[in-house]
């Protein structure tokens, strides 16, 4: 079955960077788009961006342009989300999400990781 | 960015009730809408895609309708496991956006 296992909780200082990983299993890794969605504690969902199956193309929400980098490592079936210049408003759960359908970017967000809490302290 | 407005933001209902949640888009999005359910401490779960297509494994008491700017999620007979927060999401254009959520609580 499809599993997305994310890295553990992080506590970072204001201005630092964080890299969250998401190891995928139970499917052909190179066939699917992955997205990252975040959720501040007690708040709603916010889409950050996506990466294509080969890792050669990314689309980021304008809000995060210049601060976020999404990559993937085919050899370990892992996707990564790197967020820099952290501020208190970045404190949130970060979810990696795999699309339901292979090859096409339908934005059908069918499989979610367990979430990684990133806490930014001043 | 396309804004999605959900209403109500919260509601109280009893087991067996019919529940309707609405989602309004700031511009037309055809049928490019999905609904998710999120329970405390868990990641969201996709219920409906393409405004009205039920995801595999989702109980048939859930249904979605609408197109253009106005959409609804209906739970025909609320069950104890349905108490959760529900979000709509548009995939008509980037950035993908979500509604603010509707919390369904026990009356």
Question: Which chain B residues are closer than 8 Å to A61 by Cβ?
Answer: 94-95
Comparing A44-58, A101-115, B9-23, B61-75, which segment has the lowest mean pLDDT? A101-115
Cα separation values, B48 from A83, A87, B17, B35, B41, Å: 30, 34, 20, 5, 21
- Round to whole Å and give the CA distance between B95 and A63: 9
**Contact (CB, 8 A) for A73 and A80:** yes
Check whether B13 has a pLDDT greater than 90. Answer: yes
Q: Count the residues in chain A.
A: 122
Contact B89 A100 (CB under 8 A): no
Percentage, residues of chain B above pLDDT 90: 98
Question: Which chain A residues are closer than 8 Å to B44 by Cβ?
Answer: 45, 95, 109, 112
- Average the pLDDT over B57-64 and give the result: 97
Q: Which residue of B has its CA nearest to A94?
A: B43
Percentage, residues of chain A above pLDDT 70: 100
The pLDDT score that the predictor gives to residue A107 is 87
**Contact (CB, 8 A) for B35 and B66:** no
- Average the pLDDT over B14-19 and give the result: 97
Comparing A32-36, A103-107, B63-67, B86-90, which segment has the lowest mean pLDDT? A103-107
Q: Which of A45, A92, A97 to mutate to test the interface with B (most CBs of B within 10 A)?
A: A45
Give pLDDT tens digits for A52-108.
999 999 999 999 999 999 999 999 999 999 999 999 999 999 999 999 999 888 889
Contact B95 A47 (CB under 8 A): yes
Q: Kindly list the residues of chain B whose beta carbon comes within 8 Å of any beta carbon in chain A.
A: 34, 36, 43-46, 49, 55, 87, 89, 91, 94-101
Q: Name the more confident of B4 and A26.
A: B4
Question: Which chain A residues are closer than 8 Å to B45 by Cβ?
Answer: 112
The pLDDT score that the predictor gives to residue A96 is 98
């Amino acid at each position: 079955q499809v599993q997305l296992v994310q890295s553990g909780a992080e506590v970072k200082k204001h201005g630092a960077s964080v890299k969250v990983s998401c190891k995928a299993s139970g499917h052909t890794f190179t066939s699917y788009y992955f997205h990252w969605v975040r959720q501040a504690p007690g708040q709603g969902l916010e889409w950050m961006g996506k990466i294509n199956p080969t890792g050669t193309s990314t689309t980021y929400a304008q809000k995060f342009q210049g601060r976020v980098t999404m990559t993937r490592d085919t050899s370990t079936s892992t996707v990564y989300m790197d967020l820099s210049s952290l501020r208190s408003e970045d404190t949130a759960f970060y979810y990696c999400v795999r699309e339901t359908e292979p090859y096409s970017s339908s934005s059908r967000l069918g499989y979610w990781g367990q979430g990684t809490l990133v806490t930014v302290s001043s | 960015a396309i804004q999605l407005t959900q209403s109500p933001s919260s509601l109280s209902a009893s087991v067996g009730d019919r529940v309707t949640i609405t989602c309004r888009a700031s511009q037309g999005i055809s049928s490019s809408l999905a609904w998710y359910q999120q329970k405390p401490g868990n990641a969201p779960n996709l219920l409906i895609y393409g405004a009205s297509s039920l995801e595999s494994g989702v109980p048939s008491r859930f249904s979605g309708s609408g197109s253009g700017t106005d959409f609804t999620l209906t739970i025909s007979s609320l069950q104890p496991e349905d108490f959760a927060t529900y979000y709509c999401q548009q995939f008509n254009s980037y950035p993908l956006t979500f509604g603010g959520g509707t919390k369904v609580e026990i009356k």
